[in-house]
Amino acid sequence: MPRTARLDIHLDPVSAEPVFSQICAAVSADIAAGTLPAGTRLPPTRALATQLDIAVNTVAKAYRELEVQGYIEGRGRRGTFVRDQSGVAGEREALRFVTTMHSLGMSLKDTLELVRRAWP
């Protein structure tokens, strides 16, 4: 079983940036720098919340955002892992687009039609 990484996250309590965004920025920067390679298991939300002395829901929100952005993936009871970043930039942008269109109430059919009209 993979070993769980210890994240070195420093939160700025006086920052205008929300805490969950600070977590996202720190984790995505570590992934981009190679400090957190693909396959690394991240700490459970409760453990990271305890380490950072913040609410569990804040860590959960950060993990959800990182998952939507394609940086990490939840594997149920096995944990949350860093995704392989090679070739996922397009997938990350597609997920962001789909999430936005879904939140606007767009159907798949209407969304595909918009893409067809916008495609050069």
**96-119: pLDDT as tens digits:** 888 899 999 999 999 999 999 998
On whether the CB atoms of residues 80 and 73 are closer than 8 A, the answer is: yes
Residue 88 pLDDT level (bands cut at 50, 70, 90): low
pTM: 0.72
**42-67: pLDDT as tens digits:** 999 999 999 999 999 999 999 999 99
pLDDT (0 to 100) of residue 3: 76
Measure the CA–CA gap between 42 and 51, rounded to whole angstroms.
13
Domains in the chain, start-ordered, CATH in brackets?
A: 1-84 (1.10.10.10), 87-120 (no CATH)
On whether the CB atoms of residues 45 and 7 are closer than 8 A, the answer is: no
